[in-house]
């Protein structure tokens, strides 16, 4: 009994300290964590790559880093809306997490899972279902060499969509500032991790993918043709794809081809100017498209 009580107390303390850490985390520390994580993933890519891709890695990274910097700038502006949502929850006790008194560990788990559902999975699914929103998200799928730098390759228009749904997720859940910062940090790390060109033993990846989004699980989403493109929408947790029946698999990962079949020419996916203009160009229906050609 004493062991159980001690274990419970330890878990309670750790979770509270984690929430406090993220509630007080500075921009410098958060940046160091994320840049350090990206650096480690890039090093692992060079040692145990899933694919030996013939491309100019620095030039490719340069394009994705430009979009990452744009994402950071948009998010800095949008952070005000998230802070207001957190403040609203604090003042009015609003949100699902504030209905019941939950132990800290359960509060964190339920909070992260719900934030991921609304702030990531739902908007991702919508972008694949609404044509004009798909044209913004398309930029992410044009990458023909998916690696750790591909995670934040997103059009600024898409950044706005995701910020809106993240703010909505904060209001619906009633998440605290510490929980929001924990989720945001994990979300960015998983964006790099799930796109990283790293080889993970099949069984380990398979078992983990029942709960978490793994590199192999997400890379199916980057296969260049449907129906694989419209699948595996998860960000951190894969459970929502399993629940909603949106999981697709490739029997042999080497059959995977990155990109999107409508934009396979180099100038279409390697020009920042063209990538920014894609949402405003005439729509091109991919093979098997559920959208009409107009």
Taking alpha carbons only, the member of 149, 165, 160 closest to residue 197 is 149
How many residues would you count in the chain?
294
For the entire predicted model, the pTM comes to 0.91
Q: How open is the CA angle 63-30-158, to the nearest 5 degrees? A: 45
What does the pLDDT look like over 132-180, one tens digit per residue?
A: 999 999 999 999 999 999 998 999 999 999 999 999 999 999 999 999 9
Residue 83 has pLDDT above 90, yes or no: yes
pLDDT number for residue 289: 67
What does the pLDDT look like over 228-250, one tens digit per residue?
A: 889 999 999 999 999 999 999 88
Q: Which of 8-17, 144-153, 192-201, 208-217 shows the lowest per-residue confidence on average (mean pLDDT)? A: 8-17
CA 195/CA 210 separation, integer angstroms: 18
Phi, psi angles (nearest 5°) of residue 49: -75, 150
Q: What is the DSSP letter of 120?
A: I
pLDDT number for residue 225: 83
CA 253/CA 217 separation, integer angstroms: 10
Are 183 and 98 within 8 A, CB to CB?
no
Residue 5 has pLDDT above 50, yes or no: no
- DSSP 3-state percent helix, strand, coil across the chain (nearest 5): 70, 0, 30
Give whole-number Cα distances, 81 to 73, 84, 87, 155, 195, in Å.
14, 5, 10, 20, 28
Concatenated DSSP letters of 210-233: TTB--HHHHHGGGBSSTTGGGS--
CA 64/CA 150 separation, integer angstroms: 6
Higher local confidence (pLDDT), 262 or 213: 213
What does the pLDDT look like over 33-64, one tens digit per residue?
A: 888 999 999 999 999 998 888 888 999 999 99
Residue 65 has pLDDT above 90, yes or no: yes
Q: Where are the domains of the chain?
A: 56-199+267-280
What does the pLDDT look like over 12-34, one tens digit per residue?
A: 578 888 889 888 988 889 889 88
CA 259/CA 20 separation, integer angstroms: 41
pLDDT number for residue 161: 96
């Amino acid at each position: 009994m004493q062991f159980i009580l001690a274990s419970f107390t330890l878990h309670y303390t750790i979770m509270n300290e984690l929430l406090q850490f993220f509630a007080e985390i500075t921009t410098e520390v958060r940046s160091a964590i994320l840049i350090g994580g990206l650096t480690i993933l890039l090093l692992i890519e060079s040692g145990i790559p899933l694919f030996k891709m013939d491309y100019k890695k620095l030039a490719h990274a340069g394009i994705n880093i430009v979009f990452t910097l744009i994402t950071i700038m948009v998010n800095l502006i949008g952070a005000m809306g998230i802070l207001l949502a957190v403040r609203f929850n604090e003042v009015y006790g609003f949100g699902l997490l504030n209905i019941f008194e939950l132990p800290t560990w359960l509060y964190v788990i339920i909070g992260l899972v719900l934030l991921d559902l609304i702030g990531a999975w739902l908007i991702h699914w919508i972008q694949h279902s609404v044509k004009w929103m798909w044209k913004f998200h398309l930029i992410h799928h044009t990458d023909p060499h998916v690696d750790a730098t591909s995670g934040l390759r997103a059009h600024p228009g898409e950044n706005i969509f995701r910020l809106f749904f993240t703010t909505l997720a904060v209001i619906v859940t009633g998440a605290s500032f510490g929980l929001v910062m924990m989720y945001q940090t994990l979300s960015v790390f998983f964006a790099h991790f799930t796109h990283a060109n790293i080889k993970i033993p099949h069984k380990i990846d398979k078992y983990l993918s029942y709960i978490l989004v793994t590199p192999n699980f997400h890379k199916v989403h980057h296969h260049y043709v449907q129906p694989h493109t419209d699948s595996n929408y998860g960000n951190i947790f894969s459970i929502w794809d399993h629940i909603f029946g949106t999981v697709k698999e490739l029997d042999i990962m080497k059959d995977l081809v990155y990109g999107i079949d409508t934009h396979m020419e180099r100038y279409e996916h390697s020009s920042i100017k063209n990538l920014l203009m894609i949402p405003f160009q005439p729509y091109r229906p991919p093979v098997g498209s559920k959208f009409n050609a107009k």
